[in-house]
């Protein structure tokens, strides 16, 4: 990658490799392998005049094949070089069950940003595998946070509404008391706490009811069952907002770019969900009604979606009844307007039908 001409800059700081950066954004100098000592004379001269344009940051993305990770591969690309890993990646380690090897990968890559979209998300299985859940959701996250802090890098991490106890009927705010009901929720909370304790620059996005067109999701399950049965029974006493992985990924890229370019300290926890609220039962009804409009030929035999309580489907892990999340802080600090949940679900259905 060749250097480009310098532009005026309101101030500079130095990267870990020694190249100056503009306080209004990130700059690139020299070739992909150049250093201050090995870079071209033109690059060094331009650097002395100020920051250089178009310097790509290096982003380490973990969990690349998950619903959110897959979308992040797309949304993060305009920000710079993305090194995307999963638990099967070699020789670089992307397996959060191996925190030591994960630390070695971070040191080898020396990224500007770590985006962790990997997690132990088998909510019920976590009740019988607490050690694995804690290693992935807390211990490995702490390692990432400390390694990022040592590098001066940013850490982006995803958490969950399960850190709350699900009481009440008002959307949870970021600073309200937590009280997880399950091993999954507890380990995700511990991950948040490890990040905060490390002192790393971070963005933690708590989200809920995540879906994507790729892979399995609640809507696809409802469509399949509606073709197999005459009547469905779906929980109607858990409230939340279905949130698309594409929305999460797009907001992540926007917020990360804003946070890194801003002179304001934007580190912290943010709630990130689509607008509005619904129950699983009403969500199912919307899916079936919308599917019939999109594809009238679809053979959906279910004519009734019965509303039932959570107690009708006992599970090893307790679910929060109130998964509403207040997104005012996110929208205000990053100048965002989050769409209603129906918009994303309808778009997803149009893709899969």
- DSSP-assigned letters across all residues of 249-279: HHHHHHHHHHHHH-SS---EEEE---BS-EE
Give the integer Cα–Cα distance in Å for 106 and 342.
Answer: 39
Active site residues: 184
φ, ψ dihedrals at 232, nearest 5°: -115, 150
The whole-angstrom separation of Cα 96 and Cα 103 is 10
Phi-psi region of 118 (alpha: psi -120 to 50; beta: other; left: phi over 0): beta
C-alpha distances in Å from residue 50, one per residue of 11, 44, 279? 8, 10, 54
Q: How many CB atoms lie within 10 A of CB 16?
A: 12
Q: Is the dihedral of CA 323, 321, 138, 121 positive or negative?
A: negative
CA distance 300 to 308: 21
How far, in Å, CA of 236 to CA of 278, rounded?
Answer: 9
Q: Are 235 and 310 in contact (CB under 8 A)?
A: yes
Hey, which residues does 304 pair with through a beta bridge? 231
CB 15 within 8 A of CB 55: no
Within a 13 Å sphere around the CA of 251, how many CA atoms are in the beta-carbon half? 30
Cβ atoms of 124 and 316 within 8 Å: the answer is: yes
């Amino acid at each position: 990658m060749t250097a480009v001409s310098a532009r005026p800059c309101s101030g500079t700081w130095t990267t870990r490799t020694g190249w100056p950066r503009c306080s209004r954004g990130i700059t690139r100098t020299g070739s992909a392998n150049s250093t201050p000592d090995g870079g071209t004379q033109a690059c060094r001269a331009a650097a002395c005049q100020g920051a250089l344009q178009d310097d790509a940051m290096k982003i380490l993305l973990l969990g690349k094949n998950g619903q959110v990770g897959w979308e992040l591969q797309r949304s993060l690309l305009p920000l710079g070089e993305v090194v995307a890993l999963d638990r099967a990646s070699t020789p670089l380690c992307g397996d959060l069950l191996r925190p030591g090897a994960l630390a070695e990968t971070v040191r080898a890559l020396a990224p500007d940003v770590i985006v962790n979209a990997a997690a132990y998300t088998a909510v019920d299985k976590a009740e019988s595998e607490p050690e694995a859940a804690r290693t992935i959701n807390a211990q490995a996250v702490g390692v990432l946070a400390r390694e990022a802090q040592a590098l001066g890098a940013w850490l982006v991490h995803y958490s969950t509404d399960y850190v709350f106890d699900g009481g009440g009927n008002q959307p949870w705010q970021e600073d309200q008391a937590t009280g997880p009901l399950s091993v999954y929720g507890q380990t995700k909370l511990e991950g948040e706490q490890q990040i905060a304790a490390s002192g790393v620059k971070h963005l933690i996005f708590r989200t809920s009811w995540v879906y994507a067109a790729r892979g399995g999701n609640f809507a696809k399950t409802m469509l399949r069952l509606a073709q197999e049965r005459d009547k469905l029974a779906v929980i109607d006493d858990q409230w939340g907002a279905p949130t698309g992985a594409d929305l999460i990924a797009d907001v992540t890229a926007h917020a990360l770019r804003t946070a890194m370019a801003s002179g304001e300290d934007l580190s912290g926890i943010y709630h990130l969900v689509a607008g509005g609220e619904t129950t699983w039962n009403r969500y199912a009804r919307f899916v079936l009604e919308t599917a019939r409009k999109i594809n009238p030929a679809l053979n959906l035999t279910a004519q009734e979606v019965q509303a039932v309580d959570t107690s009708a489907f006992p599970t090893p892990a307790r679910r929060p009844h109130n998964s509403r999340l207040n997104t005012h802080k996110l929208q205000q600090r990053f100048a965002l307007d989050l769409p209603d949940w129906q918009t994303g679900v309808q778009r997803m259905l149009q893709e899969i039908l």
